[in-house]
Amino acid sequence: MRTIEWNDIENCIEMIDQTKIPLKLEKKFCKTIDSLIDAIKSLKIRGAPALGAVGGLGIALSAFQYGGEDREEMLGAIISDAKRIKDVRPTAVNLSWGVNRVLDKVLKNRRFATTLSGESIEDIRRFALEEAKRICEEDVKINKTIGENGAKLLNDGDTILTHCNAGRLACVDWGTALGVVRSAVEMGKDIKVFACETRPLNQGGRITTWELMEDGIDVTLIADSSSGIVMRNKMVDKVIVGADRIVKDGVFNKIGTYTHSVLAKENKIPFYVAAPYSTFDIERTGGEIIIEEREADELRKFGESYIAPKNVKVFNPAFDFTPMKNITSIITEKGVLDPGEI
């Protein structure tokens, strides 16, 4: 089952609603850009590679949503939707990447957005959809290659610590960090995983555990702050995480990744980042990127219940920055890279 795909009957985007996992497996159908934006914002769909697919499919949806006959007007609508989609998760480079890649197909000159390519409105829809579907197919293929490249680094019997969810549900399929685990298991290696809960939205506790259990891979849930004790007690052989954005001097990933990297360095445990090339943004450095802060209520509330004082101040960054010196290697579809080579 794919995490996200185009529904050819309804001409809409179909995705697994990840906020419902592990309680139930439920599909969300996005028939409008508003509902897509809501799905991205509320993390019904999340994960760097999946957001690339969302971005691409979002432009296709925009093209299908336009109901008029005026190419100028359609151009305006697509450009405006593209901006709205990209603005939902500004730190997630893949979202913009997916949007821009499909825009490149439908605009004659994206930089100036002067005109649409394609003779007819139908042409434009077709161009957009074909390219968006290509992103999805490539994502699966890329993840499988990342998996194969990374699996060679794992030994039979290894225990891996991972953070958040860089799995099947963060991608169109297979996964990046968990794709490496899956490929190693497929090669016949015995691999166990510690999944960090990943506060405040518990993607590790809810999603990583669920998808590994679905595949019959041995997984143990720990609190984020237990990563220290498991590393110090040599219960972990390697750390593998995904990435939201890889810049010249480091990696942006889910808040807590930097913490694990420091603990890994202290305890001499290899620390790997598994991510597709679409995550690379190496013209920039860490200092140039503004880390998005999410809503205070993610830490103040659980569902409708308050778990902290209602008006307590909160600092809730979505990501942190791990400097390259804390990273052993970056596993990509083009091979395993030394961070010094980036």
Active site residues: 244
Q: Closest separation between CB of residue 244 and a copy of itself, Å?
A: 14
Applying CB under 8 A, among 213, 234, 288, 338 the residue interacting with a copy of itself is 213
CA dist 231 → 132, 234, 256, 284, 331 (Å): 41, 5, 15, 32, 21
Which of 55, 56, 147, 200 touches a copy of itself by CB under 8 A? 200
Nearer to a copy of itself, 36 or 181 (CB): 181
CA proximity to 258, closest of 227, 294, 217, 279 = 227
Both tokens of 230, joined, read: 């498991």
Q: Verify cis geometry, omega within 30 degrees of 0, for the bond prior to 200.
A: yes
Per-residue 3-state assignment (H helix, E strand, C coil) for 233-283? CCCCCEEEECCCEEECCEEEEECCHHHHHHHHHHCCCCEEEECCHHHECCC
Is 89 labelled as part of a ligand binding site? yes
Residue in 122, 266, 288, 295 binding a copy of itself, rule: CB under 8 A: 266
How many angstroms separate the Cα of 172 from the Cα of each of 46, 150, 155, 156, 167?
A: 11, 19, 27, 27, 9
Q: Which residue's CB is nearer to a copy of itself, number 118 or number 205?
A: 205
The enclosing H or E element of 323 equals: strand 319-323
With CB under 8 A as the contact rule, the residue among 64, 194, 272, 280 that binds a copy of itself is 194
Is 223 an interacting residue with respect to a copy of itself (CB under 8 A)? yes
313-332 residues near a copy of itself, rule: CB under 8 A:
313-317, 320-321
CB 252 within 8 Å of CB 289: yes
Report in angstroms how near the CB of residue 210 gets to a copy of itself at its nearest: 5
Residue 225 is a binding residue for a copy of itself (CB under 8 A): yes
d(CA 148, CA 151): 5
Give the nearer residue to a copy of itself in terms of CB position, either 241 or 330.
241
**Under rule CB under 8 A, residue 221 binds a copy of itself:** yes
CB 156 within 8 A of CB 237: no
Minimum Å distance from CB 119 to a copy of itself? 51
* Residue 259 interacting with a copy of itself (CB under 8 A): yes
181 sits in the region (left: phi over 0; alpha: psi -120 to 50; else beta) called alpha
Q: Is 299 in the site for a copy of itself (CB under 8 A)?
A: yes
3-class SS of residue 120:
coil
Tell me which stretch binds a copy of itself (CB under 8 A): 91-99, 131-139, 150-158, 257-265.
257-265
State in angstroms the smallest separation of the CB of 163 from a copy of itself.
8
Q: Is 305 in the site for a copy of itself (CB under 8 A)?
A: yes
Say if residues 249 and 61 touch (Cβ distance below 8 Å): no
Query: How many CB atoms are located within 10 Å of the residue 65 CB?
Result: 19
Taking CB under 8 A as the binding criterion, the range among 12-20, 62-70, 174-182, 200-208 that sits at the site for a copy of itself is: 200-208
Q: How far apart are the first and last CA of the chain?
A: 34
Residues of the shown chain interacting with a copy of itself in the complex, contacts defined by CB under 8 A: 22-23, 163, 194, 196-200, 202, 205-206, 209-210, 213, 218-230, 232, 255-256, 258-259, 262-263, 265-266, 291, 299-300, 302-303, 305-309, 311-317, 320-321
Output the known binding site for substrate.
46-48, 89, 203, 253-254
Output the known binding site.
46-48, 89, 203, 253-254
